[in-house]
Structure 1
Amino acid sequence: MSWQMIPLEEVAPTPWRNGGGVTRELIAWPTPQDWDWRISVAEVEKSGPFSRFEGVERWFAVLGGAGVRLTVDGQTHEMTAQSAPLRFDGAQDCACELIDGPTEDFNLMLKHGHAHARLVRVQGALDVVVKPGTRVAVYAWDEPVRVQVNRKFATVSPHTLAWRALANGASVRIEAPTALWMELAR
C-alpha cells in the first residue's frame, strides 16, 4: 500500500456544538460511523470544556498559536507547539483555557480495546522500527516532511496527513522541522 494523502484544506470544517471552534476530521478508520481510531485538526477559538468521549483514549497536541492550559481530571497541563503530545482518558473532565488567543490543535482518538497508538512530536529527525501489521501516519504542519520507509522516500506537503499500512513492518525515518508521527496497531 502506498501513502494516502489528506490535505487539510480539502476537509470541510464542522462547527462545535458549544460554538468554541471547528474540527476537520481527516480520517476515521475503518468508517466515519464506526471508527476504531480517528484523526482530526481543530481550531479552538475560545476557552471552554472539551466534549467527553466514554471508552476513548485521546491524544492532544498543539500545532499553532500560543498554546492552551488543559485541565484534565483536576490536573493542569500547559501545552504549546513544542510540547510533547498529551494522552488522557476521554471520559475524564477536560477544560481548555487559551493562553493568548486561538490555537490549532491535533487530536487522535482510539476506542478502548480496538486499537492502541503512539503519537510523537518530531523536531528534526526520528528513526523507528515499525512492527508488522501497523498503520502509520505523519502530519506535516507548516513545512514539508520527508519520510523514508525502508529504501523508498515520500514527501508530505504542509498541512497534510499521510498514512499507510505496513503489513511486513519496516524501518522508518522521518525528517522535519516539526511534524507529528503516529503508529496505530490493534
Structure 2
Amino acid sequence: MSYNIIRFADATTMPWLGGGGITHELARHPAEGDFAWRLSVAEVQQDGAFSRLDGVDRVIVLCSPGRMVLHTPEPQPLERFSPYAFDGGTQIDCTVPDGPTRDFNVMTRRGVYVADVTTVVGARREVEVPTDAEVFVFCMDGVLSGGVELGTFDLAQLDARTTVDASHGAAAVVVLTTMPLG
C-alpha cells in the first residue's frame, strides 16, 4: 500500500477572483484546464460573495473554530467539521462574524463526478477504497495517524483500505466517483 501525500506547504496558492480571500489548491483533475474535481483550502478573510461556479457541485467543511454563515438567501450557519453541500452556481454571500476562517472545499463538475464527504473527529475509522472511486483523507485539524501520517491541512490519496486515526484531530474522507456515461 502506498499513499500520494500532498503537504499543505506544497499547495498552489492563488487569490480569489473577487478578492476577499485566497485558495490553496491541493489536488485537481485534470491538472490543466477546467477541473472535473478539485480539493482545496480556502482562507476567508472578510465578508463577501462566493464566486459563482455554474455546473459545479460544492461541499464545504469549516475547519476553523470561528463562525461562518452562508446566506443562500436564508442564513446557513456552518458547524465546524460538518460538511455542507450546495450548488456552486447559487449566489451565496458569506459572513465571518469572528474574523478570518479556513475551510476545506470539494468541487465536482456536475454530471462528471460526484463527491461523498464524511468526517471523523476524535475517533478511528476504517476507510474502504472502492475500485471505481478515488479516495482522499484530509487532516482538518491536529494530527492523523494510523495507515497515514498527516498534519493539519495535509491530504493523502489512498490506494487501499486503511485506518484513519483522528484521536488527536479531525479528518475529512472524500470519495470521488465518476458518473456513468449516457
- Gap regions ≥5 residues in structure 1: 148-152
Q: 1:115, 1:184 within 8 Å by CA — same for their partners in 2?
A: yes
CA distance in 1, matches of 2:164, 2:74: 32
Equivalent residue number for residue 181 of structure 1: 173
Q: Which moved more, 1:85-94 or 1:135-144?
A: 135-144
Greater shift in the superposed pair: 26-35 or 45-54:
26-35
Count of paired positions: 175
Q: Deviations over 1:96-143 (max 9, x none)?
A: 110210001111000011111111121122334443221110111332
Which residue in the other structure is 1:160 paired with? 154
Partners of 1:144 and 1:29 lie apart in 2 by 26
Task: Report deviation, 1:2.
Answer: 2.3
2:131 and 2:12 mapped to 1: Cα distance? 33
**In the alignment, is the contact (CA less than 8 A) between 1:134 and 1:165 conserved in 2?**
no
> In the alignment, what sits opposite 1:95?
93
Q: Which residue of 2 aligns with 1:150?
A: none
Match of residue 8 from structure 2: 8
Q: TM-score, normalised by structure 1?
A: 0.86
Q: Distance in 2 between matches of 1:20 and 1:65?
A: 19
- Runs of 5+ consecutive residues of structure 2 not aligned to the other structure: none
Structure with bigger strand share is: 1
Distance 1:174 1:55, change over 3 A: same
TM-score by length of 2: 0.87
